[in-house]
Amino acid sequence: MGNTKEASAVRMSRIKRKEEATVPAPVLEVRDLDVSRSGDIVVKGATFTINEGDFVGIVGPNGGGKTTLLHAILGILPSKGRIRLFGEGINRFRRWERVAYVSQHAINFDPQFPLSVRELVGLGRVRRGNLGRPLRKEDWSAVDDALGAMDLTELAYRRIGNLSGGEKQRVFVAKALVRDPDLMILDEPVAGVDATTMERFYQRISDLNQERGITVLIVSHDLTAVFCRMSKVMCVNHDVHYANITPDLDHNELLRKGYGEHFHFVFHEHSCEGVFPRP
């Protein structure tokens, strides 16, 4: 967006549509999708629809194709089948500013990287239309807004290489958020952090979903977090199984389709006590 006021207007419009819509608009439609790597089919026959305002947890064993599926959705990998983003075919889609992606490898960089947190998040405001010119006042206002949303204001002028792993992950989410996206895709954003840091991170992502109306897809190995916090779950192990998270969902029936017949996940609704509400 050109300035902070316009971005705020778009955000409020997005939230209003979410509240008023009887049937939410589809953000992502996938039909009969096959994705291959090195000649081997990694994802096969995937069919699902993600609607505006959904908070989707993507789970499944390592090597099952979760990242491959995301790369196909983002147009990074070729695929067979149909992918539509915001009603437009993936090959014709051009409004990539509506989509934010944080890779699982985002925080793996040289610790001597010479930028501050605020400067790095500011890179998220660089687009083809403003390449080569300094950021404007409205850009820095958007940066400060994103830092506040991810609870990074006090770290704004700290060197990025001096942060903890959890802090770095929040910085890269802020860098994605500063573009004011409609869809945010996060690939294992809290790998290797402690339980408290993970809890705080999920809280902030839930806030983005519920308060700003951003549709979220997040890859996670924390099954309790997914079933306590999110509205839908996608289990990926070459095949893709997708379900609404409701009180009558048979968690093990779904998960065994991805993890195998002997998999058993102990989950009770009281496991979510003290956890922030699911959308």
Lowest-confidence pick of 17-31, 64-78, 201-215: 17-31
Asked whether residue 278 carries a pLDDT value surpassing 90, the answer given is: no
Structure tokens at 94: 């051009």
Cβ atoms of 184 and 204 within 8 Å: the answer is no
How much is the pTM?
Answer: 0.85
Task: Report the alpha-carbon distance of residue 218 to residue 186 in Å, rounded.
Answer: 5
Tell which wins on pLDDT, 88 or 137.
88
Q: What is the pLDDT of residue 193?
A: 72
Q: What is the pLDDT of residue 270?
A: 58
CA-based end-to-end distance of the chain: 27
Residue appearing with tokens 């989950």: 267
pLDDT mean over 58-72 = 95
Domains in the chain (CATH in brackets) are 4-272 (3.40.50.300)
pLDDT mean over 201-221 = 92
Task: Report the alpha-carbon distance of residue 111 to residue 124 in Å, rounded.
Answer: 20
pLDDT mean over 22-50 = 93
pLDDT band at 2 (very low <50, low <70, confident <90, very high): very low
Q: 84-102: per-residue pLDDT in tens?
A: 999 999 999 999 999 999 9
Q: What is the pLDDT of residue 17?
A: 55
Q: What is the pLDDT of residue 37?
A: 92
Asked whether residue 245 carries a pLDDT value surpassing 90, the answer given is: yes
